[in-house]
A and B are shown apart, each in its own frame.
Chain A
Amino acid sequence: EAAVTQSPRNKVTVTGGNVTLSCRQTNSHNYMYWYRQDTGHGLRLIHYSYGAGNLQIGDVPDGYKATRTTQEDFFLLLELASPSQTSLYFCASSGWGAETLYFGSGTRLTVL
């Protein structure tokens, strides 16, 4: 069974704060994705990567940076958090692009 671990599970920060969300996969997958989920919008793609050091821009990248440090680890960075970034964030991995996605349990972020 594929394993994708996200941390933290919950995070509360203030406007202007600095937040890093972490994702680790132990599936030896090449692709990793960051999504946010909001009521009425479904899951929206923020950034994705097909290998260590690679970064691809998703559909809603503004206000987010991401870094893939190793094949296993993909980080999402909010350097100046805003209330509009309050959301449920999911990380996913897949062996090759657009194949079966395996999701982490999600991180609920609240920006006050």
Chain B
Amino acid sequence: GQQVQQSPASLVLQEGENAELQCNFSTSLNSMQWFYQRPEGSLVSLFYNPSGTKQSGRLTSTTVIKERRSSLHISSSQITDSGTYLCAMERGNTDKVVFGTGTRLQVSP
């Protein structure tokens, strides 16, 4: 079954609103990462965050290992934040990095 569950599947915001994206894991959590996929398809690494909290500009990632979850918070959303956000984790200690199906974010003026 799906080991990486992302929610919500899609989200529509007005510019300036905040967003909280969730990633939940059915197995023990290793090596959590967040990616942004631009509308034209290219993938950009946002965070490598196996535990704790990391911040970069308006983005904050929090990973709680014992609860098998990670979140991505976007503050003061902008139109250019529109796209798909993907989380990924290492399955066990296999070096296999597996992805969730993503959250599609649309930010409107």
A interface vs B, CB < 8 Å? 31, 33, 35, 40-45, 48, 50, 56, 58-59, 88, 90, 92, 94, 97-103, 105-106
Contact = CB atoms under 8 A, between A and B. Distances in A.
A101 B41 contact: no
Given A31-B95, A59-B96, A90 B43 contact: yes
14 contacts: A42-B100, A43-B86, A43-B88, A43-B99, A45-B97, A50-B95, A56-B95, A56-B96, A59-B96, A97-B90, A98-B90, A102-B45, A106-B41, A106-B42
A50 B97 CA distance: 13
- Say whether chain A's binding surface is mostly helix, strand, loop, or mixed: strand
Query: B interface, how many residues as a size bin?
Result: 20 to 34
- Say whether chain B's binding surface is mostly helix, strand, loop, or mixed: strand
B87 to A, nearest CB: 10
A105 B44 CA distance: 10
B102 A42 contact: yes
